[in-house]
Amino acid sequence: MSDDLVILTLTRIEASHLTDLVGQFQQLLSEEDPSDDPAMARLTPDIYPDDEEASNDLHEVTRSELLGRRARDAATVRADLDRIEEGSVGDALSPVDVSIAGSHLDPWLRTLAALRLVLASRLGISDDTEASDDDPAYALYEWLGFRLEGLVQVAEQRDDL
């Protein structure tokens, strides 16, 4: 993918919340023994669910690398978000543009998808029909999906060029 810029327009409060979510995700990825965390299980799924031994063997070989890539991706997203200029509290709903280099688009896609997996795990969502539309955390899950879908559309358009 080229280094053409993608501009993601968010409100200042959305950018702040997304920065916080990515920071929490980075913290989760840095935990020493996250093996008991169901969210981590969603991030490193069993390839062989019917063969526990083969699945464990594969996890031993690939888990560290996969989580390392997720951490690098999250760092890329965080760096892009950190370039947003500070604003006053009264500007919470004002738009801000996040400049995403073309080479950063895939890390953004992977990070937003991973954030949704973690949130789904925390909320007990296995498909869209199980969550309550009144739940603010579910609204966050949906918002992440909306932003992810927009970036996927941009990526597909770029691939068509």
Task: Give the pLDDT band (50/70/90) at residue 1.
Answer: very low
- Per DSSP, the three-state class of 74 is helix
Q: Which two tokens stand for residue 92?
A: 């919470």
65 in a structural domain: no
41 in a structural domain: no
Q: Output the CA angle 76-107-128, nearest 5 degrees.
A: 125
39 in a structural domain: no
54 in a structural domain: no
Q: Count the domains in the chain.
A: 1
109 in a structural domain: yes
* pLDDT above 70 coverage of the chain, percent: 89
Give the list of residues 6+ apart from residue 8 with CB closer than 8 angstroms, or none: 97, 98, 100, 147, 150, 151
Dist CA 119 CA 58 (whole Å): 25
- Decide: pTM greater than 0.85: yes
In this predicted structure, which of 11-15, 124-128, 146-150 has the lowest mean pLDDT? 124-128
130 in a structural domain: yes
Q: Output the CA angle 156-129-41, nearest 5 degrees.
A: 70
In this predicted structure, which of 20-34, 92-106, 110-124 has the lowest mean pLDDT? 20-34
122 in a structural domain: yes
pLDDT reported for residue 103 = 94
> Domain containing 153: what range?
5-30+72-160
Whether 131 has a pLDDT exceeding 70, the answer reads no
Higher confidence at residue 152 or residue 137? 152
Task: Give the pLDDT band (50/70/90) at residue 129.
Answer: low
Mean pLDDT of 113-137: 80
In this predicted structure, which of 20-29, 119-128, 148-157 has the lowest mean pLDDT? 119-128
Inter-CA distances, 84 with 36, 74, 80, 96, 144, Å: 35, 16, 8, 7, 19
